A and B are shown apart, each in its own frame.
Chain A
Amino acid sequence: MPRLKDEPLSTPVVTPASRPMSENKTGDWRSVAPRIDAEKCTGCLLCWKYCPEACVDISGEVPVVDMHYCKGCGICAIECPSHCIHMTESSEVAA
């Protein structure tokens, strides 16, 4: 029967998410992935600034997107002034 079975009243009513947000891997929401053309990148860091997930690593010469968290929103590709970021169907990560 598709009837919902009630939980016992002793079950806690408020249960906060037991894992920290860092473990909430949002990368699996993604259907398209950013690919950065290292040749054309000028290192302006706008992709880092605009990324709503704050998942662009700029410690190296060319930005690297952390695909565990990238939702594939494409904001970086739209904002990149040198048009070096392309959204691709493949979820493969370009270096």
Chain B
Amino acid sequence: MKKVLMGNHAATLGAVLARVQVVAAYPITPATQVVELIAEMVAKGEFPGQFMRVESEHSAMAALLGAATAGARTFTATSSQGLAYMHELLHWVSGARLPVVMVDVNRALAAPWNLWTDQTDSLSQRDTGWMQTYCATNQEVLDTVLMSYKISERLLLPSMVLLDGFTLSHVYEPVDVPDQKAVDAFLPPFKPQTFLDTKNPGAFGSLETPKPYFRIRRRLALDMQRAEAVVEEVGAEFERAFGRGYGAIESYRSADAEVSLVCSGAVGSTAKQAIDELRAEGHNAGLLRFRLFRPFPATALKRMTRPGMKLAVVDRNYSPGHQGIFCEEIKASLYGTKNAPEVYGFVAGLGGGDITVELLKEIWHEVKAKTADPVEPLWMEEAR
């Protein structure tokens, strides 16, 4: 059924349709509406799962660590400072191989206070062992929550689903909400082989010496490595079930492009407009929209680029002392590839600055006109 939904509520409906059993949350601004809707459903007797009100994001993830260890399908949502506060528990959850799914609304970190959209909050959690998928529309948010449960439970790795603060979280769009029967057919109940069970006691999260620890980390690395293929598989399964397909990277008019913009999040949909205009003006412009960031989709990237192609990477995030984070990862994953595409970095829209069609076209022209620098990113500001 088509509904007009804000991104926050699209995320909620995804989790509810996935029949999550335990939700633990602390209502930091602005992710509140994601879990607030679940709290409302609890009050109306419409949510059959457990809703735990905890005293912090740190506790929220700790509660899910316990619930997921006991074999429950779990969900939470947070944003910005809240995600930063969760950091320690993110490692606990991935290390324990628990398929928790969390929605993070991308908002800038303090100081100074800002809270408009910016990806540095989630990209700061790059090395926590969580998968990360960035969404461009509210429909994609709902669909990605559903797919993430399937992917996470297959690999026993947690997933973070990202949407832009305000641009998606508080913007209403038409969303096709699938019916429960179809979702149940796509996503069977979570049945872990090993879980905390009073009838069959065992110790979880206990001490491991260097040798087994090293092997456990290697296994996590191995499963993360094969996750890119699983993301593609589940995206194809989703298309067969619901008619909307998703891959690790979306390629838009990029197959024959001379210069392709590389974007993620909602900027990825603005960029399509920019590409259409550039094409209409006679330029060979294309777009690669990254959905997946962890694992880094190097296979898809190599498949979608060709020698002689140039990439203009737009980062709404920055690693102080280095570069835009998508840009540095793209450069690293293309290193050693014969005739690898040239990669140029652009930092734009930190703290919620608009990344408009005009700005994206200017970025494209910086690369086309060879005025961009292959090492240092250019910081681009909207002229208005």
Q: Which residues of A contact B (CB under 8 A)?
A: 4, 6-7, 9, 11-18, 20-21, 24
Interface residues as binary, B214-249 with A (CB distance below 8 Å gives 1, 0 otherwise): 110011001100000000000000000000000000
How big is the B interface, by class? Answer: 10 to 19
Partner of A14, one of B96, B201, B215: B96
Nearest-neighbor residue (CB-CB) of A11 within chain B: B219
Q: Decide if A12 touches B193 in the complex (CB within 8 Å).
A: yes
Verify B192–A14 contact, CB threshold 8 A.
yes
- Cα–Cα distance between A6 and B218 once the two chains are bound (Å): 8
**With A4-B214, A4-B215, A7-B219 known to touch, is A12 a contact of B194 (CB < 8 Å)?**
yes
Contacts A4-B214, A4-B218, A6-B218; A13 near B97 (Cβ below 8 A): yes
In the complex with contacts A14-B192, A14-B194, A6-B202 CB distance below 8 A:
no
- With most chain A CB atoms within 10 A of its CB, the pick from B196, B202, B214, B223 is B202
Main secondary structure of the interface of A (DSSP, over half): loop
Contacting residues of chain B (176-231) with chain A, CB-CB under 8 angstroms? 192-194, 196, 201-204, 206, 214-215, 218-219, 222-223
Query: Are A13 and B201 interface neighbours, CB within 8 A?
Result: no
> How many A-B contacts at CB < 8 Å in the complex?
38
Contact between chains at A16 and B219 (CB < 8 Å): no
Which of these, A7, A13, A20, A24, contacts B156 with CB under 8 Å?
A13
Contact indicator A14/B193 (Cβ below 8 Å): yes
A16 contacts B203, CB within 8 Å?
yes
Q: In whole angstroms, what is the CA distance A87 to B366 when docked?
A: 74
Evaluate contact between B215 and A21: CB separation under 8 angstroms.
Answer: no
How far is A46 from B196 in the complex, measured between Cα atoms in Å? 35
Q: Which of A4, A11, A13, A17 contacts B203, CB < 8 Å?
A: A17
Q: Which residue of B lies closest to A14 (CB)?
A: B194
CA A73 to CA B71, docked complex, whole Å: 37
Query: A21 with B203: in contact, given A4-B215, A12-B194, A13-B223 (CB under 8 Å)?
Result: yes
Q: List 24 A-B contacts (CB under 8 A).
A: A4-B214, A4-B215, A4-B218, A7-B215, A9-B222, A11-B219, A12-B194, A13-B97, A13-B156, A13-B219, A14-B97, A14-B156, A14-B192, A14-B193, A14-B204, A15-B194, A16-B202, A16-B203, A17-B204, A17-B206, A20-B201, A21-B203, A24-B203, A24-B206
> Could you tell me the distance between the alpha carbons of A9 and B221 in the complex, rounded to whole angstroms?
12
